[in-house]
Structure 1
Amino acid sequence: MPDSLAVRLKQLVVSTLKLDDLRPEDIPDDEPLFGSPKFGLDSIDALELVVQIEKEFGVKIGSSEESRKALASIATLAAYIRSQKPGA
């Protein structure tokens, strides 16, 4: 059974970053979001994602080091959100 938080995060990534040529189900949970030629995301994309995640989930992603770790993949992002908001 798919992780509902991971599914929601994939939808958020696609819609926030307007990745029209990518479907949420095409994003593997453990594939790097940044530095991967598949997604082509950059630091501006990271900032947009952080803002949207903070708005959507009410979690604060502090330093750039913290955001780099949290945004490594869908799986790490889901784990980060769960650590900040138990029950998410």
Structure 2
Amino acid sequence: MINDHERKNIRAAIDRLLAGTPPWSDGALTALTPAAEADVKRHVLTHRHTDLKDEFYTKVRTQGRVPDSERKLRAELKKTRSDWPS
């Protein structure tokens, strides 16, 4: 079944990313990267296999790592707050 194959590939991609050994991507900890590593479109991960996406982000946070997208948002928020008048 194709979903089983996708899930197996996504899980393997997540494991490679968390181990720091991604051969087919830049290794960024975003939803796009496990999809790229697993050779599936992003929406397959974010809409069809949402449990795997959530599992990925949980594992990232458990390891004490912050996804790049979240780090950028935090930096933007900090800058915006510093630009507000007191």
Larger radius of gyration: 2
**Relative contact order (C-alpha < 8 Å, sep 6+): which is higher?**
1
Q: Do both proteins adopt the same fold according to a TM-score greater than 0.5, normalized to the shorter chain?
A: no
More helix by share: 2
